[in-house]
């Protein structure tokens, strides 16, 4: 799979069913921007990178250490057979339309704390403003990478802050939820590590212990932050999809990959008309 891996560049070859731009900009992650045509810049796992793709190559440029190859392969979920999953999903006519309109969306395996915190911020909010709040959260409280970028601040760091400390990020009523989440994660009351492998209903209950985390935010955390592609977040757009297209529930072809189906339907529905 890897062709090249040195200090400043990693290239994965033979990659199919991946659109970098769609995957990074379909409302699942909030820290990526297209700094010039076809080159996406952002920070994940505390590392700044530039990402592009050519034919079947996924190209990463940055300042790499040994484990970065594994980290980024994992981030883009390269170990999962999206080609076969999409073929199966396309047996449903609506999913066929959505997947053919926006091919190559993958579910990114983000850090669980970042996903949890980001989707707390997302509540009753729109994507451009979510990005702004997350950006200010990072510049004010993240670690300075000395190149203009900042890491996503740890739960431990945020757990020491007060609601007033968060005023500059202008997150509104969500500030108290961010603090509560940070405290419960930092003191171990909520164990994010185990959420990727434990029973999914148990995982949902664990997350809902946090103030400001309901069914939707919990589901997003499991899908984007815990690699649980059977999680199925329902926001206003997905609610529309369900009433318009699936009044009797999801088709059988989505079993075990409901979250992937959700992402294609969500992005398609937001972009029609």
Partner DNA sequence: AGCCAGGGTCTGC
Partner DNA sequence: GCAGACCATGGC
The residues that are catalytic are: 216
C-alpha closest to that of 26 among 79, 101, 105, 94: 105
In 107-254, alpha helices (H): 112-121, 127-141, 155-159, 175-186, 200-208, 215-225, 236-245
- What residues contact residue 120 under an 8 Å CB cut-off, 6+ apart? 174, 177, 178, 181, 210, 212, 213, 217
Choices 88-96, 117-125, 146-154, 190-198 (CB under 7 A): range interacting with DNA:
117-125
- Work out how close the CB of 209 gets to DNA at its nearest, in angstroms, rounded to a whole number: 9
The dihedral over CA atoms of 182, 188, 192, 196, expressed in degrees to the nearest 10, equals -170
- Work out how close the CB of 172 gets to DNA at its nearest, in angstroms, rounded to a whole number: 3
Considering beta carbons, is residue 40 or 64 the nearer one to DNA?
40
Could you give the string, one character per residue 121-150, with x where binding to DNA holds by CB under 7 A and - elsewhere?
-xxxxxxxxx-x------------------
Residue 11, φ and ψ in degrees, nearest 5: -125, 125
Considering beta carbons, is residue 56 or 189 the nearer one to DNA?
189
List the one residue from 70, 170, 194, 255 that touches DNA (CB under 7 A).
170
Choices 6-14, 75-83, 170-178, 184-192 (CB under 7 A): range interacting with DNA:
170-178
Q: How far is CA 232 from CA 32, 193, 211, 216, in A?
A: 23, 20, 21, 8
Say how many CA atoms lie within 13 Å of 170 toward its Cβ.
Answer: 8
Instruction: Give the pairing type, strands 47-54 and 33-36.
Output: unpaired
Contact 224, 30 (CB under 8 A): no
Choices 37-45, 166-174, 183-191, 193-201 (CB under 7 A): range interacting with DNA:
166-174
Contacts to DNA from residues 73-102, by CB under 7 A = none
- What residues contact residue 145 under an 8 Å CB cut-off, 6+ apart? 43, 46, 48, 151
Could you give the string, one character per residue 188-227, with x where binding to DNA holds by CB under 7 A and - elsewhere?
--------------------x--xxxxxxxx-x-------
Contacts to DNA from residues 230-259, by CB under 7 A = 233-238
Instruction: Give the pairing type, strands 2-5 and 47-54.
Output: unpaired
Q: How many beta carbons lie within 10 A of that of residue 86, not counting itself? A: 22
- Work out how close the CB of 128 gets to DNA at its nearest, in angstroms, rounded to a whole number: 5
- Work out how close the CB of 204 gets to DNA at its nearest, in angstroms, rounded to a whole number: 10
- Work out how close the CB of 168 gets to DNA at its nearest, in angstroms, rounded to a whole number: 10
Considering beta carbons, is residue 145 or 245 the nearer one to DNA?
245
Contacts to DNA from residues 13-72, by CB under 7 A = 26-28
Choices 9-17, 37-45, 53-61, 164-172 (CB under 7 A): range interacting with DNA:
164-172
List the one residue from 46, 172, 186, 245 that touches DNA (CB under 7 A).
172
Mapping DSSP onto H, E and C, the string for 142-185 reads CCECCCCCECCCCHHHHHCCCCHHHHHHCCHHHHHHHHHHHHHH
Q: Which residues bind DNA (CB under 7 A)?
A: 26-28, 119, 122-130, 132, 170-173, 208, 211-218, 220, 233-238, 262-263, 266, 270
């Amino acid at each position: 799979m890897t062709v090249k891996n040195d200090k400043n560049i990693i290239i994965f070859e033979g990659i199919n069913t991946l659109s970098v731009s769609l995957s990074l900009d379909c409302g699942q992650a909030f820290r990526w921007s297209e700094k010039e045509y076809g080159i996406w810049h952002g920070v994940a796992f505390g590392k700044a990178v530039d990402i592009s793709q050519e034919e079947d190559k996924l190209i990463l440029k940055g300042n790499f250490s040994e484990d970065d190859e594994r980290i980024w392969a994992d981030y883009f979920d390269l170990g999962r057979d999206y080609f076969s999953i999409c073929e199966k999903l396309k047996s449903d006519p609506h999913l066929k339309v959505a997947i053919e309109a926006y091919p190559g969306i993958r579910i990114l395996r983000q850090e669980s704390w970042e996903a949890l915190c980001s989707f707390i911020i997302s509540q009753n909010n729109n994507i451009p403003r979510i990005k702004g709040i997350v950006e200010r959260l990072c510049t004010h409280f993240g670690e300075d990478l000395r190149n203009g970028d900042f890491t996503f601040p740890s739960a431990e760091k945020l757990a020491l802050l007060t609601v007033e400390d968060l005023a500059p990020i202008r997150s509104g009523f969500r500030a108290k939820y961010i603090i509560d989440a940070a405290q419960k994660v930092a003191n171990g009351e909520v164990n994010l590590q185990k959420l990727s492998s434990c029973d999914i209903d148990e995982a949902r209950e664990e997350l809902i212990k946090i103030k400001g985390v309901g069914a939707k935010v919990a589901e997003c955390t499991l899908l984007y932050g815990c690699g649980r592609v059977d999680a199925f977040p329902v926001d206003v757009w997905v609610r529309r999809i369900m009433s318009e297209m699936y009044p009797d529930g999801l088709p059988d072809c989505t079993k075990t990959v409901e979250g992937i189906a959700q992402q294609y339907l969500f992005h398609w529905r937001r972009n029609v008309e």
